Amino acid sequence: MKNIKITYFVIILLVSGTSALSQDIHFSQFYASPLSLNPANTGNYDGDWRIMNNYRNQWRALSIPFRTISVGFDRQFWLHSEKFSGGIYIINDKSGPAGLTVNKIFLSFAWHKTVNGHNWHTGIQGGMVFKSISMGSLTFPSQYDITSGQFNNQLPVNEDNIGLSDNYPDLNFGIAWSKRLRFFEPELGVSFFHLTMPKETFLGNNNRLPIRTALNLGFNIPIKNWFAHPMALYMRQTTATDLLGGLEFGYNIPKANVIKQIFAGYFFRNDFSTAFDASIAVIGLQFKQLRLGFSYDINSSPLKIATNRRGAFEVSLIYISKSTIPQKVTIPCDRL
């Protein structure tokens, strides 16, 4: 039965190739992976330094689930009166029966400026991408054994034009804006990935990775001890599109010693190739400087037949140190 599910899953991926094969690695909790969302988010927080960690496990209903792990670190530094930030972002992704493994390491740099209450952030991100596949877990037509009527992976592959690895440099750029208004604070960001359109191929051809554009929008709305945070992310890469949107709401616990905040939310994903792709439930806690989030994707795309609607489970962790930069400057003087 499981083999039937895997076969059906592969068929759907091939039929919907433009949306399945063109998208980059992404998280349902996109807001909890700031360095992969927009390079301008490097240092865009109140604190001296920050550590981020994300884990995603997708399609466990299949024999070989997709797994993604990311780790990031950034910190603030000042040059005269100008605020800058630097960071590093590492991601490891493994997916499918071919053992497709992707490792990325990026360095980020951002500049932050406030003009008339408008907060502007500009960031650039560059690094290396390493990809590889495992031929031992695949079978090819030449490995069909007519004597047994089955595939034998001990037979030669006879596919000399397939490479087992590929690596290339990559470059990303982004801008973000926010402004504190009377009752809420809007946030807007736009980012561009693969600006140099690097060559990416296992077959030795001139396949170029298209530029991916991401637009994110959010509103921070405090309501006494409560808060609401509607958010949306739209991404486009050639003909592949992806829209995530929803609302996170929570409660700030007064005079809390350990747990400062609890929150929950609902998001949806729509890739525009189907009417609806997934529903996403989110819950989490804030422990002093540590924010911990959990989410689960309920699959509603055509893949639900193969996955029994079981989508992805995610865990996000963000720790932000307290800021040592004084918020107010006091000038002592003698009393007259």
Burial class for 320, CB neighbours closer than 10 Å (0-12, 13-18, 19+): middle
Tell me the pTM: 0.82
For residue range 33-44, list pLDDT tens digits in order: 999 999 999 999
Number of domains in the chain: 1
Strand 82-95 to 66-79 pairing: antiparallel
| Contact between residue 60 and residue 278 where contact means Cβ atoms under 8 Å apart | no
pLDDT of 65 reads 75
Query: Quick one: average pLDDT of 265-270?
Result: 93
Averaged over 143-171, what is the pLDDT? 74
Nearest-CA neighbor of 52 among 15, 123, 122, 106?
106
In a domain, 290, yes or no: no
Neighbours of 74 (CB within 10 A): 25
312 in a structural domain:
no
What's 243's domain CATH number?
2.40.160
pLDDT in tens, 162-195: 667 889 999 999 999 999 998 999 999 999 999 9
Q: Which domain holds residue 197?
A: 2-258+269-280
Determine the pLDDT at residue 310. Answer: 63
> Phi and psi dihedrals of 325, rounded to 5?
-85, 120
What pLDDT score was predicted for residue 247? 96
Average pLDDT over the chain reads: 83
Copy the structure tokens of residue 104: 């990325």
Q: Is residue 313 part of a domain?
A: no
| In a domain? residue 311 | no
The verdict on residue 212 lying in a domain is yes
Angle, alpha carbons 86-131-104 (nearest 5°): 10
Q: Give the per-residue pLDDT at 5.
A: 42
- Whether residue 294 lies inside any domain: the answer is no
Q: Domain for residue 309, yes or no? A: no
- CA terminus-to-terminus distance, the chain: 88
Segment 115-127 mean pLDDT: 96
Q: What is the pLDDT of residue 98?
A: 65
**pLDDT at residue 7, as a whole number:** 40
Residue 200 has pLDDT above 50, yes or no: yes
How far, CA to CA in Å, does 109 sit from each of 36, 132, 175, 248, 317? 13, 28, 12, 29, 22
User: How high is the pLDDT of residue 8?
Assistant: 40
pLDDT mean over 213-219: 97
What tokens does 230 get?
């509607």
Tokens linked to 310: 């079981």
